[in-house]
Amino acid sequence: MQDAPTPSPRRWTALLFLALALVLSMTPWFSATAVVGQLRAQWGFGGSMAAWLTIAVQLGFLAGALVSAGLGIADRFPVRRVIVVAALGAALANLLVLAARSPGELLAARLATGAFLAGVYPPALKLVATWFVRGRGLALGVLIGAITLGSAAPHLLNAVGGADWRRVIAWTTAATVVGALVVGALVREGPYPFPVARVRLADLGAILRNRGVVLATLGYLGHMWELYAMWAWFATFAATAAAVGGDPRTAAVLAFVAIAAGLVGCVLAGVASDRIGRARTAAIALAVSGACCVLAGFAHAAPLALFLALALVWGASVIADSAQFSALVTEHADPRTVGTALTLQLGLGFLLTVATIWILPLLAGALGSWRWVFLALVPGPVLGLVAMGALMGRGAGRGA
Given a contact cutoff of 8 angstroms between Cβ atoms, the answer to whether 264 and 324 are in contact is: no
261 CB contacts (<8 Å, ≥6 apart)? 311, 312, 313, 315, 316
Q: For residues 9, 339, 268 and 175, what is the CA-based torsion angle, rounded to 10 degrees?
A: 80
pLDDT band at 27 (very low <50, low <70, confident <90, very high): very high
Give the residue-averaged pLDDT of 320-340: 81
Q: What's the CATH code, domain 11-392?
A: 1.20.1250.20
- The reported pLDDT for the residue numbered 321 is 92
> Dihedral of CA 48/49/55/59: which sign?
positive
Given a contact cutoff of 8 angstroms between Cβ atoms, the answer to whether 287 and 381 are in contact is: yes
Residue 326 has pLDDT above 70, yes or no: yes
Q: What is the DSSP string of 30-69?
A: GTTGGGHHHHHHHH---HHHHHHHHHHHHHHHHHHHHHHH
- The reported pLDDT for the residue numbered 394 is 64
CA–CA separation, 290 and 292 (whole Å)? 5
Residue whose C-alpha is closest to residue 353's, from 217, 230, 215: 230
Residue 160 has pLDDT above 90, yes or no: no
Give the residue-averaged pLDDT of 251-261: 91
CA–CA separation, 156 and 260 (whole Å)? 10
Compute the mean pLDDT over every residue in the chain, rounded to the nearest whole number.
Answer: 86
Of 42-56, 93-107, 267-281, 345-359, which gets the smallest average pLDDT? 42-56
CA–CA separation, 171 and 151 (whole Å)? 13
- The reported pLDDT for the residue numbered 178 is 97
205-224 in b/e burial notation, b at 16+ Cβ within 10 A?
A: ebbeebebbbbbbbbbbbbb
Residue 203 has pLDDT above 90, yes or no: no
Residue 4 has pLDDT above 70, yes or no: no
Given a contact cutoff of 8 angstroms between Cβ atoms, the answer to whether 300 and 242 are in contact is: yes
Give the residue-averaged pLDDT of 89-95: 96
Please report, rounded to a whole number, the percentage of residues in the chain having pLDDT higher than 70: 92
The segment with the largest mean pLDDT, out of 4-18, 321-335, 343-357, 380-394, is 380-394
pLDDT band at 240 (very low <50, low <70, confident <90, very high): very high
Q: Which phi and psi (to 5°) does residue 244 adopt?
A: -95, -35
Q: With 0.85 as the threshold, say if the pTM is over it.
A: no
Q: How far is CA 4 from CA 7, 132, 192, in A?
A: 8, 10, 8
What are the residue ranges spanned by the domains of the chain?
11-392
